[in-house]
């Protein structure tokens, strides 16, 4: 059985920077309130009418990752695209990336695991490479949150958190034994509605929402039970991190770099303290980008690598928790 390694990384974020101060234009809040609860100072939001969409942002990140891997688009055998904000209800953006990159008619798979989407996508790609089915797989996480947020005081508990952007990696068959050591995936669907966007959906389509014309209807905006999600996140993060380490005979002190999903800086800090990790062992960039859901881990991975925070032989652990509930981890020997 083969091993898979990350051969190339790239990310893309819109140029438009939205600071906490900018949010005061349409909601009652303060920079201090946002920073205290989330650690976020600014985020990137797509400018309406621009060319930035989940598929195009994902393509831009993918082009960088492919180039950094020393490959061309024609070397890619398969695409895995993780997002909760596709360009269309259907089809998913994986096929759009295939077209935008001008790749031959390879397979494209869309993953809908929200904040855990990139880890899930990485795990799926890892299995394909381990079995020898594919050699070079493009794994993308891309999100366009800003177009679907309730930009008002009523929606501030969610709106201040989320940002737009994309990250991508090329997962490749390893020749030196280094690469993904294991991945670990979990879900708990009984809590699905604690972090969800309920409508429009096939059970309550656009015409029903419009005909009701209810100004109090918030079903078409994301809903998050913040305290409930936080309590579960810190528990599941710790569990899945220890699961990955235990499966491979390691302890928290062996981690060279932990890259958590950038959900909330307070969650990352809680986990860091619980695991006894130093600042050098954890990478956070949520203060600059907010929560970019499926894109957060590959964006952080791309930045950490470009900053020299990841070196050959390092033990890198990625972990995520989010809507579903779903959570997962991936342990990599770089």
pLDDT in tens, 290-307: 999 999 999 999 999 999
CA distances from 221 to 31, 92, 195, 246, 324 (A): 23, 20, 11, 39, 16
pLDDT in tens, 9-60: 999 999 999 999 999 999 999 999 999 999 999 999 999 999 999 999 999 9
Q: For residue 325, say if its preceding peptide bond is cis, omega within 30 degrees of 0.
A: yes
- Looking at the structure, do residues 158 and 298 belong to the same domain, yes or no? no
Among 62-76, 163-177, 245-259, the minimum mean pLDDT is found in 163-177
Give the closest residue to 142 by CA, choosing from 117, 170, 125: 117
Q: Are residues 78 and 14 in the same domain?
A: yes
43 C-beta neighbours (distance < 10 Å), count: 30
Those residues whose C-beta lies under 8 Å from the C-beta of residue 54, and which sit 6 or more positions away, are 83, 85, 86, 87, 93, 142, 143, 144, 166
The encoded tokens of residue 6 equal 């990350």
Residues 192 and 153 in one domain: no
Which residues partner with 317 through β-bridges? 258, 331
Contact 171, 130 (CB under 8 A): no
CATH number of the domain encompassing residue 272: 3.40.47.10
Task: Return the percentage of the chain with pLDDT > 90, whole number.
Answer: 86
Which structure tokens are listed for 152?
């008002």
Identify whether 11 is a catalytic site residue.
no
User: Is the pLDDT at 225 greater than 90, yes or no?
Assistant: no
pLDDT 10s digits, 133-144 = 999 999 999 999
Cα distance between residue 10 and residue 67, in whole Å: 9
Amino acid 28: pLDDT = 95
102 — pLDDT class (breaks 50, 70, 90): very high
Q: Note down the domain range covering 9.
A: 4-177
**One domain for residues 166 and 205:** no
Residues 84, 44 share a domain: yes
Q: Is the pLDDT of residue 281 over 90?
A: yes
Q: How far apart are CA 221 and CA 215, in angstroms?
A: 12
pLDDT of residue 105: 97
The pLDDT of residue 210 is 66
State yes or no: pLDDT of 151 exceeds 90: yes
First-to-last alpha carbon distance for the chain, in angstroms, is 18
Instruction: Clarify whether 191 is annotated catalytic.
Output: no
**Statement: residue 229 has pLDDT above 90:** no
- Single out the residue in 177, 208, 224 at which a domain terminates: 177
Give the model's confidence band at 223: pLDDT under 50 very low, under 70 low, under 90 confident, else very high: confident
To the nearest whole number, what is the mean pLDDT of the chain? 94
Catalytic residue among 20, 68, 113, 115: 115
Task: Indicate if the pLDDT at residue 220 is higher than 70.
Answer: no
CA–CA gap between residue 103 and residue 29 (Å, rounded): 46
For 115-132, write each residue's pLDDT tens digit: 999 999 999 999 999 999
Residue positions counted in the chain: 334
| 190 plus 305 within the same structural domain | yes
**Single pTM value for the model:** 0.95
Rounded to the nearest 5°, which phi and psi values hold at 133?
A: -70, -40
- Domain end point (choices 177, 192, 210): 177
Please pick, among 11, 136, 291, 305, the residue that the annotation labels catalytic: 291
More confidently predicted of 325 and 227: 325
| Number of domains making up the chain | 2
Catalytic one of 261, 264, 284, 305? 261
Orientation of helix 31-38 relative to helix 265-275, angle to 10° = 30
The answer on 301 and 236 residing in a single domain is: yes
- Pairwise CA distance, residues 178 & 182, whole Å: 12
One domain, residues 113 and 23: yes
C-alpha distances (whole Å) from 98 to each of 134, 173, 204 are 16, 21, 32
From 177, 203, 236, give the residue that closes a domain: 177
Query: CA-CA distance, 264 to 242, in Å (whole number)?
Result: 20
Give residue 327's Cα distance to chain centre. 12
Would you say the C-alpha torsion 232, 233, 237, 243 has a positive or negative sign?
positive
CA Rg value for the chain: 19
Q: Model confidence over 232-279: pLDDT tens digits?
A: 999 999 999 999 999 999 999 999 999 999 999 999 999 999 999 999
* CA 68/CA 79 separation, integer angstroms: 17
Residue 22's Cα: distance from chain center in Å?
A: 24
> Are residue 21 and residue 88 in the same domain, yes or no?
yes
Task: Please classify residue 181 by burial: count the beta carbons closer than 10 Å to its beta carbon, then call 0-12 exposed, 13-18 middle and 19+ buried.
Answer: buried
Q: Are residues 127 and 209 in the same domain?
A: no
How many other CB atoms are found less than 10 A from the CB of residue 271? 21
pLDDT, position 235: 95
Structure confidence at residue 177 (pLDDT): 79
Q: Is 223 a catalytic residue?
A: no
């Amino acid at each position: 059985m083969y091993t898979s390694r990350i051969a190339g990384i790239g990310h893309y974020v819109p140029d438009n920077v939205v600071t906490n101060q900018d949010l005061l234009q349409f909601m009652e809040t303060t920079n201090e309130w946002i920073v205290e609860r989330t650690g976020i100072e600014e985020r990137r939001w797509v400018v309406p009418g621009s060319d930035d969409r989940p598929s195009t942002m994902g393509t831009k990140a993918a082009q960088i990752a492919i180039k950094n891997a020393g490959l061309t688009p024609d070397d890619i055998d398969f695409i895995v695209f993780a997002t909760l904000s596709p360009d269309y209800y259907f089809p998913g953006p994986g096929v759009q990336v295939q077209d935008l990159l001008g790749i031959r008619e390879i397979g494209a798979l869309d993953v809908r695991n929200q904040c855990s989407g990139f880890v899930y996508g990485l795990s799926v790609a890892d299995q394909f490479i381990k079995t020898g089915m594919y050699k070079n797989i493009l794994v993308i996480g891309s999100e366009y949150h800003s177009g679907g947020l309730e930009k008002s005081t009523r929606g501030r508990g969610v709106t201040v958190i989320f940002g737009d952007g994309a990250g991508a990696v090329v997962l490749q068959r390893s020749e030196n034994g280094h690469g993904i050591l294991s991945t670990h995936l979990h879900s708990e669907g009984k809590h699905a509605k604690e972090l969800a966007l309920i409508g429009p959906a096939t059970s309550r389509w656009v015409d029903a929402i419009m005909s009701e014309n209810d100004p109090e209807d918030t079903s078409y905006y994301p809903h998050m039970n913040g305290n409930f999600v936080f309590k579960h996140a810190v528990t599941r993060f710790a569990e899945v991190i220890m699961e990955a380490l235990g499966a491979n005979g390691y302890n928290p002190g062996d981690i060279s770099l932990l890259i958590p999903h950038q959900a909330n800086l307070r969650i990352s800090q809680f986990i860091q303290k619980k695991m006894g990790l130093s600042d050098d062992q954890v990478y956070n960039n949520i203060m600059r980008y907010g929560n970019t859901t499926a894109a957060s881990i590959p964006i952080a991975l791309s930045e950490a690598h470009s900053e020299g925070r990841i070196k050959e032989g390092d033990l890198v652990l990625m972990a995520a928790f989010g809507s579903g509930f779903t959570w997962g981890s991936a342990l990599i020997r770089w």
